[in-house]
Structure 1
């Protein structure tokens, strides 16, 4: 029987069909893993590994990978890697691409992603990517393409571990999308660990991640954060989330010390008492703004707007602040002193201990080093105005200043303190030097200082007159105590007319008893003819060159020196009575000892007979005459100091 031959067409048709069937039976998308890994590794600039690749073809094609792993850059350990995920799936609308070349991604889903974000002490990080030019691409610019339209992003049980020794940070983040209360899956984050060396916990929820692209739909955001004792609460919405614009967000912050906010904000802030402030947060003109905030800081209120620009080498901060009532003790952190008082509300146990330490130490001038790294951490322009100054024994009424901090150098131009109808106003400059020191210069004017207001600070409400003068200071040091203790300069003060009640106040802050003043021959109430003081500062030692008080009853002269470095003084007060006084002690009054505990009493070592008014007045008037041209007493004031000079000159001629 003849054998039947297979038609040639069947052979040519059957072999391809068989091969296709064989290919379909044994097809695996894993064959394309090397190509996918190579393309992903080239794009990210580090090795990318995939265990399995799956593709489901159709009008909407789904591409998924299992066992995704993104390695660390060189210099970091291989395990754990930078990122890994059990599964990542992307659905692509193929027909939309074929129709108009638009990229439509209906959904992205990532299952159990884990990110290990690390930084080293030298500043290197494993989360900084170098997106190089893909292989075969030229460097010629290409026309921009439309952004992909993404429908839904779903994250299932995501985790992140963040470690940065420079920030003293080691915390974990749990990240997931939730759709229990809304059809749009919202992003939810929980944090726990340490930041800035303190425990940190927090929760944050936001709108659907992909809704960030929709500028016409407000994107809700809510966050509660606790970093040590600092509490931050943020709630509101953003109209344009990707640019932080169209914000309707309320930010509340509270804690025992604003200085702790530097770790969270990057903005240098001195130590403060306990605070609580709230305001609106937005982003405009390239700046993050905390605007129209109000709150309290210690015993003071605080309001204003702070804007921070972070695009340059260091943050630029613009702050416009004001207080209706301020206790200057709350601002002590700006000069290296522990802020607040023992009675300031909201103090922590540590702040109470530091306050007790300050009050127990023998020094009066603040000697805590100024934190110079903070000074160089940002450029700051600050304007501040206090309508009323309160606090124990404060002779000041108002405060205003305009401060510029640039590259570590501080300029206060001006700084002004109101005293009754007068003021103390000046310009100050602080420039950093080697060894952590500041070079300081201050030029100050005293304009019509109200003596009655100065006396109120010592709980005595009698006295009148206006003090004028000027002064300048230069020095270098790590603290304000060291600046003064090594400084040089001069101060000149004068008053013409007025009256004093028992002279219970002087500019050094000492309050002398009636018995001592009676010993000087000063009556309970007297009219001031002239007061002139000229004090020179040389390397921290203030020498009383001329200190003269001429009343209608006595002339009081002060001599001696005050050492600002050792905080000790030796000052003698001597009076010349214009009439016979039975109770006057025939010797000087000596004020010596430390600033904290001065001793006041008759100078028993002075046994020489008193020289009398004729010789004393002649010796005292000469320096007064030289100082008068440097003191602006004010238009219309009775310059009685000129009368003292006229009286002294004839006496001097008679003595010759």
Structure 2
């Protein structure tokens, strides 16, 4: 009986221990706080994110689906951005629920809910590639093999719902000059609808104000890939508007899209900051097409729209991963106005009031807008463009077919062909960068161009005839004007059977100047042009004259002079002589001089007896060497072929053209030769040489207004 107390005493410590453990568990349950783990969480998060991260409270609800919630989350800026006034990110609370059962049994991480209450973030990227959203120590993107990047996207957790309440982002992306405030909100799932994401942005982009609204599917759609991700985006950047609607297929795998893109604005050149593709100035446009993409290409296909009064359509393919970006464009138009394409040659399709005023005061007659070399270096491009019908107010043409390449800033115009009736205007050119200029070589061929087709826009025009010839240019410059001002080359142009001269000159040269020249020529009204030939070399920006011949049924007019594209001035003289003995007297030499934009027509001494008004003229007739060009341009049996042969064998009235340097009776006149021997001797004279010294420059008092010119010539013809 004495053993029982000993046994009870031996069991007593065990009972005490069990009781103590039970008490401890009870006390732990009563007083447990997950906040005890806050320092550990802060330390681990700071090390993981490479920036100080803190939470105020930690809450955990254990269960098959465990819910973890933190309060007052704060993530500070990384070291390169410590001076920023705002935190990198913060939130009133962050809640994450984890499906523990799914992970234990299927090794699949499933997060039924991620909820952020009043989250804010300050996202910054500098021009030197440093940013605050790459979680590395120096803020520079971590280089990873492509396969690792792909596998990382495939291993993202399955998210049931991402819930954002009253979110706000500040995004500053210096490479694109973007600085925006973005409000973020989500809607909860309803049935099969997994919710939506709403973004409203306002701020600046590419030095233009921007507003944008995006409504998309829940972010979970990016990783589930079970259904297309819906997209509804509206953007206004300055005067440019764009909408993008449709859906994206398997966005994490770049599987493609069914998106409808519409964009409109006053000028396509303003799209450069948005797209990175340099486009010359254009008139107002509105274009709609289908946008698709893959991992390597962005495709804008089957688009249609308007650009000014022209229609435009085609396909555009970009590879933004290449440096420079590669662009392949296949464009087309059913009808295009040449004015709308002016920006592609340096003209201004649309001009502001200040530009119009500047143009009115400028003496430049050719487009002088410089080609932007840095922008050309931003892309390599292959562009084809075909227009079924082209027209503007003065030059209605039939077709355009062009193809060009841009490679490392070099432009190679493989072809620029215009169909005009049964004829062709064909061009080729290369422009190689040389510092801020382009080393340029260009050629234009005119083959059997129907003048009536060219002039058909002019009401009641009776112009007709066939145009042929060539033009070449070699120069260094960065605009059409600067290339011509420094150019070498020349123009040989032939007009065969040109029709009514009164239907041509006023339209080509302007009504006032054209009528003044017609009067100065002294030809009868509605004279038919049998042949017109211009053979004019260009040297260092100055056009001189080898040959200028105008042949009609009654008279032959020869010209001599220069056109200076450096100073945008001309100094030209024309002399008309009768081929028909029934015509009594025709006016002699007269001058066209001054600015090309507004020249002055000055009659010669035969009218007013002003010897000083007649400059030294050295006329030469067309050489037989021009016959191959004439035959190429207008045909083998043209009137121009016969005119060249006639001028060489039998000059009008037996007078060699070179002998008509000055009007008879003036100080430096040359007596007309009347025999064939004089013709032969004149042919030995070096072309372009005058028989006398050049006259002094015209004085202001020797100039006449167009009205005075018309009156003077009218009086002369009545005698």
Fold similarity call, TM over 0.5: yes
1:60 pairs with 2:69: no
1:8 pairs with 2:18: no
Provide the residue aligned with 2:220 in structure 1. 210
Q: CA deviation at 1:116?
A: 0.6
Q: CA deviation at 1:173?
A: 0.2
Contact map agreement 1:521 1:583 (CA 8 A) in 2:
no
| Secondary structure of the structure 2 residue equivalent to 1:329 | helix
- Aligned-partner Cα distance in 1 for 2:296–2:188: 34
- Aligned-partner Cα distance in 2 for 1:184–1:39: 33
- Aligned-partner Cα distance in 1 for 2:321–2:401: 30
| Secondary structure of the structure 2 residue equivalent to 1:627 | helix
Contact map agreement 2:529 2:551 (CA 8 A) in 1:
yes
Provide the residue aligned with 1:541 in structure 2. 542
Q: CA deviation at 1:447?
A: 1.3
1:444-523 mapped onto 2 (5 Å cutoff): 444-456=444-456, 458-459=458-459, 461-497=461-497, 499-502=499-502, 504-505=504-505, 509=509, 513=514, 516-517=517-518, 519-523=520-524
- Aligned-partner Cα distance in 1 for 2:24–2:120: 42
Q: CA deviation at 1:254?
A: 1.8
Please give the per-residue CA displacement for 1:587-644, whole angstroms capped at 9, x wherever unaligned: 212111212212224234885999xxxx99xx734x5212323454269631444434
Provide the residue aligned with 1:104 in structure 2. 110
Q: CA deviation at 1:495?
A: 4.1
| CA 1:114–1:285: 2 relative to 1, 3 Å | closer
Q: CA deviation at 1:521?
A: 4.7
Greater mean alpha carbon deviation, residues 95-104 or residues 38-47: 38-47
Contact map agreement 1:472 1:490 (CA 8 A) in 2:
yes
Q: CA deviation at 1:568?
A: 1.0
Number of aligned positions between the proteins = 631
Q: CA deviation at 1:528?
A: 4.8
| CA 1:581–1:521: 2 relative to 1, 3 Å | farther
Contact map agreement 2:35 2:58 (CA 8 A) in 1:
yes
1:76 equivalent among 76, 81, 89? 81
1:178 pairs with 2:177: no
Q: CA deviation at 1:90?
A: 1.4
| Secondary structure of the structure 1 residue equivalent to 2:281 | coil
1:316 pairs with 2:346: no
| Secondary structure of the structure 2 residue equivalent to 1:75 | helix
Provide the residue aligned with 1:301 in structure 2. 311
Provide the residue aligned with 2:388 in structure 1. 387
Please give the per-residue CA displacement for 1:119-140, whole angstroms capped at 9, x wherever unaligned: 33545322334499xxxxxx9x
1:291 pairs with 2:297: no
Greater mean alpha carbon deviation, residues 380-389 or residues 168-177: 380-389
TM-score relative to the length of structure 1:
0.86
Provide the residue aligned with 2:563 in structure 1. 562
Q: CA deviation at 1:43?
A: 3.9
| CA 1:311–1:457: 2 relative to 1, 3 Å | same
Provide the residue aligned with 2:576 in structure 1. 575
1:151 pairs with 2:157: no
Q: CA deviation at 1:414?
A: 0.6
Q: CA deviation at 1:461?
A: 2.7
Provide the residue aligned with 1:248 in structure 2. 258
| CA 1:334–1:72: 2 relative to 1, 3 Å | farther
1:275 equivalent among 285, 288, 294? 285
Provide the residue aligned with 2:169 in structure 1. 160
Contact map agreement 2:199 2:215 (CA 8 A) in 1:
yes
- Aligned-partner Cα distance in 1 for 2:204–2:78: 25
| Secondary structure of the structure 2 residue equivalent to 1:269 | coil
- Aligned-partner Cα distance in 2 for 1:366–1:372: 17
| CA 1:231–1:211: 2 relative to 1, 3 Å | same
- Aligned-partner Cα distance in 2 for 1:267–1:34: 51
Contact map agreement 1:521 1:577 (CA 8 A) in 2:
no
- Aligned-partner Cα distance in 2 for 1:20–1:632: 112
Greater mean alpha carbon deviation, residues 516-525 or residues 220-229: 516-525
Contact map agreement 2:449 2:468 (CA 8 A) in 1:
yes
| CA 1:470–1:68: 2 relative to 1, 3 Å | same
- Aligned-partner Cα distance in 2 for 1:38–1:603: 99
1:654 equivalent among 677, 682, 699? 677
Contact map agreement 2:466 2:634 (CA 8 A) in 1:
no
Provide the residue aligned with 1:346 in structure 2. none
Contact map agreement 1:212 1:241 (CA 8 A) in 2:
yes
RMSD (Å) for aligned C-alpha atoms: 3.4
2:197 equivalent among 164, 187, 203? 187
1:19-34 mapped onto 2 (5 Å cutoff): 19-34=24-39
Q: CA deviation at 1:188?
A: 0.4
| CA 1:438–1:124: 2 relative to 1, 3 Å | farther
Q: CA deviation at 1:161?
A: 0.7
| CA 1:181–1:255: 2 relative to 1, 3 Å | farther
Contact map agreement 2:448 2:634 (CA 8 A) in 1:
no
- Aligned-partner Cα distance in 2 for 1:230–1:583: 67
| Secondary structure of the structure 2 residue equivalent to 1:579 | coil
Q: CA deviation at 1:571?
A: 1.3
- Aligned-partner Cα distance in 2 for 1:167–1:609: 62
- Aligned-partner Cα distance in 1 for 2:457–2:589: 27
Please give the per-residue CA displacement for 1:177-232, whole angstroms capped at 9, x wherever unaligned: 01397752210011112222232222111122212334442332212222222222
1:49 pairs with 2:54: yes
| Secondary structure of the structure 1 residue equivalent to 2:534 | strand
Please give the per-residue CA displacement for 1:356-409, whole angstroms capped at 9, x wherever unaligned: 543454432222333333222222222222222222212533322112222222
| Secondary structure of the structure 2 residue equivalent to 1:620 | coil
| Secondary structure of the structure 2 residue equivalent to 1:629 | helix
Please give the per-residue CA displacement for 1:233-261, whole angstroms capped at 9, x wherever unaligned: 22222343445645332222222222222
- Aligned-partner Cα distance in 2 for 1:314–1:645: 54
| CA 1:606–1:654: 2 relative to 1, 3 Å | farther
Q: CA deviation at 1:569?
A: 0.8
**Higher fraction of strand:** 1
Greater mean alpha carbon deviation, residues 546-555 or residues 16-25: 16-25
Q: CA deviation at 1:158?
A: 1.0
Provide the residue aligned with 2:95 in structure 1. 89
| CA 1:291–1:563: 2 relative to 1, 3 Å | same
Please give the per-residue CA displacement for 1:5-61, whole angstroms capped at 9, x wherever unaligned: 572212443444444445444544344444444444444444433333332221111
| Secondary structure of the structure 2 residue equivalent to 1:10 | helix
- Structure 2: 5+ residue runs without aligned partners? 139-144, 651-655, 657-675, 682-719
Contact map agreement 2:496 2:634 (CA 8 A) in 1:
no
Contact map agreement 2:245 2:259 (CA 8 A) in 1:
yes
Larger radius of gyration: 2
2:178 equivalent among 163, 166, 169? 169
